Each structure stands twice: as structure tokens, then as C-alpha cells.
Amino acid sequence: MSRQLTVRLADDLVEFIDQRVKHGQASSRAAVVAAAVDRERRREIAERDAAILARTGNYDGLDDLAAFAVQTPLEDLV
């Protein structure tokens, strides 16, 4: 499901978006904006994960990381 919204962007950003669509790098303006928002969301999640790891310890292997992850609540990921 998707919802429509209106955003106001600087002229240079609109030109960048239009060039991506014109050159076939995106199917639409909406696709460019959605990809940018999704990338920012993933960046924030990665930043949060890095902060958690910095606070809780330095894990050298995936076994240690998996053991830590099993104990981590996931309610905030929704």
C-alpha cells in the first residue's frame, strides 16, 4: 500500500530527480524520493545498531553477535 503526499524541494534537487528519471536511472520522481527515504531509514538503523554495539561490547565473531541478538528486544523495529 502506498500513500500520496506533497513535498516542496529546492530547484536543484528537482533537477537532480528529473535527470535520474530522464536517463532511466529511476522510473519516476516518486521512485527517486522513495529510494532516498528508504536509504535514510536503513542508515539510521545501521547507526543505531553501531551505537548499541559500541555500548555493549566488541564482538569479534558472528557467534557472539548472534548470542547478543537473541537477547535484544525487537519492539522498536516496527
Report pLDDT digits (tens) over 21-61: 999 999 999 999 999 999 999 999 999 988 888 887 766 67
In terms of DSSP H, where are the helices of 1-78?
11-22, 29-56, 62-70
pLDDT at 78 over 70: no
Global pTM exceeds 0.75: no
Q: What is the pLDDT of residues 5-21, one digit of tens each?
A: 999 999 999 999 999 99
CA distances 39 to 16, 34, 58, 62, Å, are 17, 9, 26, 25
pLDDT score for 9: 98
Using CA atoms, how far residue 56 sits from 48, 59, 68, 71, in Å, is 12, 9, 9, 12
- The amino acid at residue 2 is S
Q: What angle do CA 42, 48, 65 make, to 5 degrees?
A: 100
The grid coordinates listed for 70 are: 537473541
